[in-house]
Amino acid sequence: MSFSAEVKNETASLVFSQNDARAELSALIQMCSSLSFSSRGMAIVVSVENAAVARTIYRLIKERYDAGIDLSVKRKMNLHKNLIYGLRITADVPMILQDLGIYSARGLLEKPLAKIVAADTNARAYLAGAFMASGSVNPPEKTSYHLEITANNEEHGKFLVSLLKRFEIQGRTIQRRGRTIVYIKAAEKIADFLRIIGANDAVMKFENVRISRDFTNSLTRLNNCDVANEVKSQAAAKKQLEDIALLEEMDRLRHVDQKLQDVALLRKENPEASLNELCALYERKTGTPVSKSGMKHRFVRIHELAEKGRGV
């Protein structure tokens, strides 16, 4: 089962009450159904591929309107041959659509009326319904974080973005194959969205995997940084030894300042030691502390003397 399906199944198991349930159903009906007209009148035709979502729609319609529902199950004629669950409501259709805030005397509305999502709890329930209807989210194991909901139209996309903004989540819209897609990219905001719609188990899974991977990546970066620093330190030590060898060859080292002679000897005795390690060794040997910058300055001075010897 995909992570998106897990989120939808968990969200479908939640039971909202009163106006929250109406907001959830408003999103589901607007985004999962179409209207059918015949000699017998108008019908709402719902089509979904997730059984848990189909059961949720069935339960909500029965509880709120006690309307008759014809059920059907078909198998898609494609490679995966997924099941499609159909619900057909024929009684009191205009009343149901008006109650859900998606139908008026002017006809079907591009977005629900403001009263449907007046309270924040209504907005949470609507977003839960919207995700169940046409949402998807990348599994946390993937390196690219992405959650999206396919809106009915551009106006509906803007409406979804405004709902997300209520919860300080920045949603963006793009056009893909003529459809308006509302998406979220930031990992923290995706976790916030899952928390908002009540998918708490999914939040735990998402965060556990994400934090574990981010921690591993941080360790890898630190290890890479340590290796790079070690390589850099060894290269610097090699150059310092070359400078010291040249000064000894030219019999100039014994004529330089005693402090320079001391660090030159330390480097010869400890060819792989870092500057910090040389500072500790120097203090232990001479009883005089020296800073890392001070140690570095002495090697710079030795290099300058060696460069003079090279005629540079």
Q: What is the CATH number of the domain that holds 98?
A: 3.10.28.10
Model pLDDT, residue 220? 60
Both 27 and 105 in one domain: the answer is yes
Q: What is the residue range of 10's domain?
A: 3-198
19 vs 235, higher pLDDT: 19
Model pLDDT, residue 272? 83
Task: Give the type of residue at 13.
Answer: S
Both 27 and 129 in one domain: the answer is yes
Instruction: Say what percent of the chain tops pLDDT 70.
Output: 92
pTM: 0.69
* Model confidence at 225: pLDDT above 70: no
| Tens-digit pLDDT profile for residues 115-130 | 999 999 999 999 999 9
Q: Where are the alpha helices (DSSP H) in the chain?
A: 3-12, 18-32, 51-65, 93-99, 120-134, 154-166, 187-196, 200-249, 258-269, 275-286, 292-310
Instruction: Report the number of distinct structural domains present in the chain.
Output: 2
Closest CA to 209 of 157, 141, 281: 141
- In a domain, residue 20? The reply is yes
Model pLDDT, residue 131? 97
Both 180 and 232 in one domain: the answer is no
Least confident of 1-15, 90-104, 204-218, 231-245: 204-218
Model pLDDT, residue 259? 86
Q: How far is CA 90 from CA 21, 93, 97, 177, 250, in A?
A: 21, 6, 12, 32, 103
CB 150 within 8 A of CB 181: yes
